[in-house]
Structure 1
Amino acid sequence: MRLRPLEKSDLPYIYQQENSRKVMALWFEEPYTSFDELQILYDRHVLDQTERRFVIEDHDDFIGVVELMYIDNLHRNAEIQIIINSEYQGQGYAQASILKGLDYAFKVLNMHKVYLYVDVSNAAAIHIYRKVGFVEEGHLRQHFFAEGAYHDSLVMGILATEFKHQS
């Protein structure tokens, strides 16, 4: 398994993810993106230094995406996001991908802290995040709207000094 930069040729896979209600509910976002809009967004953001988007790939299979977003070079922090395609969930890809994303954030981008938001009801994700070293930093009440309801979210973070993964 490896992470590689998102390429324009990956957009059909991203299109499938971004139009899945189940997938986008995990990111607290609306499942609505046209392919044309996705191409425009790609072109607009490909040179954006406040984000890095990676494809999770295993033997040329598109497993999912890891994103470092809102990269702040002054405060040295970034948000991490991950989506694993449903057919690959439960196979260890999420944990391995998060570790690779953190490794990149801390060792390449020199981030001090990486944080994320996760639905309080997403026990599987919370378990993985805790396992790799994230700690709960806060509980946001009814902070995100998805699937017709407001959801509580945990804010979790990990500091560079807490990150133990060796590449």
Structure 2
Amino acid sequence: MTAALRTLERADLPFVHGLFNDPEVVRYWFVEPTYSLAAMEDRYSQRIHDESERRFVIDDAGRRCGIVELVNIDVRHRHCEFQIIVAPDAQGNGYAGIATRSVLRYAFAILNMHKVYLLVDNANAAAIHVYEKAGFRSEGVLREEYFADGAYQDVTRMAIFQRDFLAD
């Protein structure tokens, strides 16, 4: 496997559009699967120079396998939020772990973040396993934080510090 991260480009938007319109994919992102490609293109154009986020495609020899993002980048407090989607047809191949470690290296070594955090649905055991393996630790449970699948969902906030990631 030769998976690497590369910057999200306009040409990747149809792929991202497919992910965000798959109910099984976005269920763990707590959003409705109703994004139009035109709206996604408009949003891309509006945010292309936004320094508070970085978006990458997980690429394996030209095959798009998912996306990984650092959002809400706060340069004063040196923290940001991590988000990832591995395409359903690429799951189970180790892409999540590779992409998570790669983007953490970027966050800590390039952006000099102090802390990277995430929110994960407590029912998403596979994701929690990947995050723990990468060094994320639970900071607490946010009870009934998101409404999805007809019910409120509990989520866990997890985080990793620069010092801990770089010590490994």
What interval of TM-score do these two structures reach, taking the shorter chain for normalisation?
over 0.9
> For 2:95, which of 93, 96, 100 is the aligned residue?
93
AA matched with 2:125: A
Q: 1:30 to 1:141 in 2, by over 3 A?
A: same
Residues in 1 aligned to 2:46 and 2:8: alpha-carbon distance in whole angstroms: 14
Q: Report the aligned-residue RMSD.
A: 1.1
Q: 1:165 to 1:56 in 2, by over 3 A?
A: farther
For residue 11 of structure 1, what is the aligned residue in structure 2? 13
Moved over 4 A (4+): none
Within 5 A, what are the aligned runs for 1:143-158?
143-158=145-160
Within 5 A, what are the aligned runs for 1:1-167?
1-164=3-166
AA matched with 2:145: H
Return the offset for 1:164: 4.1
Normalised to the residue count of structure 1, the TM-score between the two structures is 0.97
Return the offset for 1:146: 1.4
Return the offset for 1:12: 0.4
Return the offset for 1:26: 1.0
AA matched with 1:147: D
Q: 1:84 to 1:165 in 2, by over 3 A?
A: farther
Superimposed CA distance per residue, residues 14-47 of structure 1 (whole angstroms, 9 cap, x where no aligned partner): 1101111111111111111111101000000111
Q: Percent identity among equivalent residues?
A: 46
AA matched with 1:7: E
Residues in 2 aligned to 1:149 and 1:162: alpha-carbon distance in whole angstroms: 36
